[in-house]
Each structure stands twice: as C-alpha cells, then as structure tokens.
Structure 1
Amino acid sequence: MASEISRLCTVHALPNKHDRPIYLDRERDGIVDGTMMRSLLPVMVLGALLMSTFSGFGSSGTPSPLDRQLIAAAEQGDPDGVRRALGKGASIDARDSRQRTALMAAVQSNHVAAAKALIEAGADVNAKDEINDSPYLLAGARGYLEILNLTLAHGADLKSTNRYGGTALIPAAERGHVETVRTLIAAGVDVDHVNKLGWTALLEAIILGDGGRRHVEIVRLLLDAGASADLADRDGVTPLQHARRRGYHEIEQLLTAAGAR
C-alpha cells in the first residue's frame, strides 16, 4: 500500500516562474498544479488504499494462468503468443493487478503488432486501468500514432477522459505530438474541452510547451480547427497573455492573427 501511495502522490515541481507551482506526476501521463494537488491528495490516498485492498482482482476475479499468459505475451510484444493464448481460451479483456488488460500492456510499450492482434480480435480500446487510462487515451497521450489509428478505427470514445479530466488531445498538444494532434482533430475530439486544471489543449500547449517548432504548429492546428483563442484559464489568464509572458513570439503572432485579446 505504501508503494501505491508513493507512486500516486510523489510529484516533481516544474520550473515555472510566471505561474503557481505545476507538478508532473511520476507516471508522466498528467499534470497537477499546486492548488489542485492539495485538493486531490485525500482522493489519491483513498484510491491507493482501495487499490491495495482489491489488488489482483479484475472484472471477473483473479486472472487465470491463460489470462496471465496473454497479458505477458502482450507486454513482451509477441503477437503470435497473443494469438496462441486467445486460441486456448484466454479472456481478451482479463485484467492484471494494475487493472491493465493485455491491450493496455501492449500499448504501454508501443508494441504495435501485439496491439493490432488484440484489437482485431475484439479487445476493448476504452477499457480503463487503475489510473483511469485506456489504450486509446494512452496512445494519444504518448503519440503512438499507429496504435491510435487502430483504436480510432475500432470504437475509441472521443469524449473519454484521463484522471485529470483531459481528452487524448490535451496531453498530445502539451507533449508536441503534431501528427497525433492532427489525427485527433480530424477524428472530431473537442478542441475546447477543459480539463480539471481549467486548461484547454491550446492553453496546455502554451503553458507546458517550449514555444518551439512543434508547439507552434500545434497551436496553428488548434486555431485552424476552431479552438477559442480567448478561452482563459481559471485565473482569467488568456492564451495570448501566457504566450507573451513566456516570450513565445510566433505563438503570440498566431493568436493575434486569430483575433485573440
């Protein structure tokens, strides 16, 4: 239990001279600001306690040896092993102690062939693990474009959100995954969705981006897709103000051209 609490609650402060503290969690799939961290901490600890209590139990109890074989094959990127385990009767959406399905295990290491074998066999691309990630959300957040396209072709829930209330588009924009952002916009993900921090994909690309070529292009893509150039964060700071504070001149020009104030 202690290790679960440590994994969930230990954070790293990011340098950010213009704003209140921002933290990146150890799973590196989300961010939390200082104010939200204090409010989320009791919930995170309770979640760790529950995970400790129910660890090892999936949707249908403890995974069978065949289910464990399937998850191991997926984790190792072995599509033939995946097919063998399924052929012997393994449950395709069985869960391990971290509530990962075999597909999630494959996605975490970007094992495209194993993921494809599972998805084509009917694996649930929206199945959430213990930290509220799904194969679709994780592929988007990490820029695993081949797997992302597979999930989109097999029923990905575009409105689903991670534990920070963000769609797949928001972390993709933050991390500079240009083609992933382009793909998610084309798929129809809401470009103005606001996460629990009060940030849109546009805000996160500016606040947590580096102002470089990739983030400039992402801002361009978001604005071209109709993202609001004036939708401020919960403190009333607009995308344009954030860009100016950071000296991101190209982004500032894009926002100004889009009518930002």
Structure 2
Amino acid sequence: MPENTPSASASPSGAPNRAADAALLAAARGGDAARVRAALADGARTEVRDGHRRTPLLLAVTGDHVAAATVLVEAGADPDALDDRHDTPFLVTGVTGSVAMLDALLPAHPDTTITNRYGGVSVIPASERGHADYVEAVLARTDVDVNHVNDLGWTALLEAVVLGDGGPAHQRVVRSLLAHGADVNLPDRSGVTPLRHAVDRGQYEVADQLRAAGGR
C-alpha cells in the first residue's frame, strides 16, 4: 500500500472510526482482550469516551478485566483519565482492591496524587473496604501519601477505623498503614484520634495495635 493511502479503518478525511471506537468500548467493558486488540488495530482511539466520560481503560479496570487493561496500557492508554464522577483507572483500583490490576497499571506510571470526588487517594477507599492485600501493595509499590487527608478530614487510617468493622481484614489494613508511616495520632476535624474511634467502636484488637504504635 502506498505510504499516503488511507487505511481501511480511517476515512480519507482522517475522521475517527466510530464503529471501531464503539467496539473498543464494548470489548473493554466485557473484558474481551482479543476484541480490544482487534478494535485498536481497526483504528479505535485509546481515549474514546462513553456517555459518562469513561475510557476503555476505566471500563476494563472497573470490571477487573486485567488482560484487557494490559492490552490498553501497552497501547498507551492513560491511567489518569477522569470520568464524570472524578474517577480514574488508577483511583478505581482502590475501590476494587485488585492487586493484579494495580500491577497492570503501574507500567503506565499513574499519578498517585489525583483525588476522587471525596478528595481521597486510592489507599483511602481501599482501607475503608478492608482491601488488605491492595493496601500493602500500593504502599509498597507506589509513592501514594499514606497520610493524605480527604475532604471529610479523614486519612486512610481513620477510614479503616471509622468505616471498618475491626475484623481481621481491617486489622491487617491498620498494620500495613502503620508499617508504612501512617500518623497514628493524626485526628479528624473534631480532634478525635484513630485510637479514640477504635475504643468507641469496640474495636479492641485495632485499639491494641494503635496503642502499640504510640496511639493516644
């Protein structure tokens, strides 16, 4: 094919291939890595958006479709693309707690300082949900700020206590946060420390961890 001849996937004017874009969004949402690759080969744009401004990568991450996400990252997809809820692919890993997806996104060098609609970084929702493996991994493998304070005035440690259940998963989360430098005495906006919250909620094992780390 002569160098300047348009490919079958693009119009002579260079307009986007809408069919390929739609196929890519559907394939990413469904986790079909082979169809993702085919849509990209047909000229689909890696940063095409759906009706909620979600990119193919964000759709793949939301469904924890690691193979599809890996294809998109290899194609240069942006891990920091914001949707209409102020989520990014990287931020969503903190919600799903998927370590495999975290690892899939790290080669794209995500910005760990971008915040969600609550002003939080990825480790905060992960701590709230008790995603212990993810919390350990994201703290060990990225520069995410363990003491970041969200718009509610809470750190990851505070959310692990205030919104956690004090069970084994949240105990592991607290252990990891403390091991990676969480400020055990950084209080909420009312001046209540993580230890005080733990005691008030009857989370005695968590309270013991916090006391051992110097909590007051």
TM-score, normalization by structure 2? 0.90
Pair 129,62 (structure 1): closer, same or farther in 2 beyond 3 Å: farther
| Residue in structure 2 matching 1:214, options 169, 180, 184 | 169
How has the CA–CA distance of structure 1 residues 165 and 62 changed in structure 2, closer, same or farther, with 3 Å as cutoff? farther
Give, in angstroms, the shift of residue 257 of structure 1. 1.1
How far does residue 140 in structure 1 lie from its aligned partner after superposition?
Answer: 2.1
Kindly indicate whether residue 70 of structure 2 is the aligned counterpart of residue 93 of structure 1: no
Percent sequence identity over aligned pairs: 50
1:202 is paired with a residue whose SS is helix
Matched, 1:155 2:109: yes
Which stretch has the larger CA shift, 231-240 or 137-146?
137-146
Q: Is the 8 A contact 1:63 1:95 kept in 2?
A: no
RMSD: 1.4
Q: Is the 8 A contact 1:125 1:154 kept in 2?
A: yes
AA aligned to 1:142 is T
SS at match of 1:166: coil
Describe how 1:1-261 pairs up with structure 2 within 5 A: 64-186=18-140, 187-261=142-216
Native 8 Å contact 1:100 1:129 kept in 2 = yes
In structure 1, distance between residues paired with 2:180 and 2:62: 29
More strand by share: 1
Q: Distance in 1 between matches of 2:31 and 2:83?
A: 19
Q: CA deviation at 1:153?
A: 2.3
Structure 2 residue runs of 5 or longer lacking an equivalent are: 1-14
TM-score scaled by structure 1?
0.75
Name structure 1 gaps, 5 residues minimum.
Answer: 1-60
The alpha-carbon deviation at position 62 of structure 1 amounts to 9.3
Distance 2:62 2:97 in 1: 11
Tell me how far apart the structure 2 counterparts of residues 63 and 243 of structure 1 sit (CA, whole Å). 55
Distance 1:62 1:130, change over 3 A: farther
Separation in structure 2 between the aligned mates of residue 85 and residue 98 of structure 1, nearest angstrom: 20
